[in-house]
Amino acid sequence: MSTAKNKKKKAETQPEEATLSSNYRRLKKGDTGHVLGIDFTQNDEQRELIRLMNDNTTPVIFCTGLAGTGKTFATIVAALDLVKIQKKYSKIFYIREPLEVGRSLGYLKGDLEDKYSVYLGGLEDNLENIHILTGLNKNDMRSAFECIPPQFTRGRSFPINSLIICDESQNFSLETIQTLSTRIGNYSKIIFLGSVNQIDIRGKDREHNDFIAAMSIFDKIDPRIYAHVELVKSERSEYCRVIDEAFQKYKNENGN
């Protein structure tokens, strides 16, 4: 015989069935310290990023930080909350340059979706982590995203009420950043995420790159439409910060 108590216990052991809406009923609206049930209270910079994403008057955000500081994770969590829960935005566009670390993979079989999917591992990893932390359904979260390479944005106009997440933006050219920034419509927001320590473009470095150049251009524009936040606390592990800084020090000392 199935009792209400047994049903409750069974539901608690099947986190995959949890939905964004049912989870949010337990949360406090407008609390940037807790989003989708995830605690951000110990990281002031992540909270500032989330606050800026919730701010209606800041359409362009640049978020920088070392590897492992949670740039993409915090942005995706806040974006899902804004689209699925608060319904302030209608869709999330996820854009990432199809660049590889090290040697090229060469020709990839399949259609555009097949070819581009290999570069979306970072997004999938973050959705998996959100699922583990919250029990939210991965397919439900994934349905909020449209993933496109920047090369296919020329001539497009992102719909009104869109969130555009530009990941690994340190690898974008100035022309790409300009193109993406001028695609956004009314009531939309674009977030550029990047680490100048992780540039994969030959001939570019942490001091000389188009990502930093773009921020300097935005610095001269009306400050009401642009904001920059730098994440400093390592969320992946303390080892990531130490290793990243050691490699960067070596590169600086050896002219790499």
The CATH number for 214's domain is 3.40.50.300
**pLDDT at position 8:** 42
Q: Is residue 59, in this structure, part of any structural domain at all?
A: yes
Residue span of the structural domain in which 247 resides:
32-102+121-254
- Sequence-separated (6 or more) residues with CB below 8 Å from residue 223: none
- Sequence-separated (6 or more) residues with CB below 8 Å from residue 39: 33
Selection from 100-109, 124-133, 206-215 with the highest mean pLDDT: 124-133
Can you give the pTM of this predicted structure? Answer: 0.80
Q: Is residue 204, in this structure, part of any structural domain at all?
A: yes
Please compute the mean of the pLDDT values over residues 114-134 and round it to a whole number: 87
Token pair 């944005």: residue: 153
* Rounded distance between C-alpha atoms, residue 193 and residue 224, angstroms: 19
Cβ–Cβ under 8 Å, residues 140 and 19 = yes
Q: Is residue 57, in this structure, part of any structural domain at all?
A: yes
Token pair 């099947």: residue: 14
Beta-strand relationship, 34-35 and 38-39: antiparallel
Q: Is residue 107, in this structure, part of any structural domain at all?
A: no
Distances (CA, A) of 181 to 64, 150, 211: 17, 11, 13
Q: Is residue 9, in this structure, part of any structural domain at all?
A: no
Q: Is residue 1, in this structure, part of any structural domain at all?
A: no
Based on the structure, what is the number of domains in the chain? 1
Token pair 């539901």: residue: 11
What digits encode the pLDDT tens for the residues 165-213? Answer: 999 999 999 999 999 999 888 899 999 999 988 876 666 767 789 999 9
Q: Is residue 10, in this structure, part of any structural domain at all?
A: no
Please compute the mean of the pLDDT values over residues 2-25 and round it to a whole number: 44
What digits encode the pLDDT tens for the residues 39-54? Answer: 999 999 999 999 999 9
Q: Quickly count: other Cβ atoms within 10 Å of residue 127's Cβ.
A: 21
**pLDDT at position 113:** 63
Q: Is residue 109, in this structure, part of any structural domain at all?
A: no
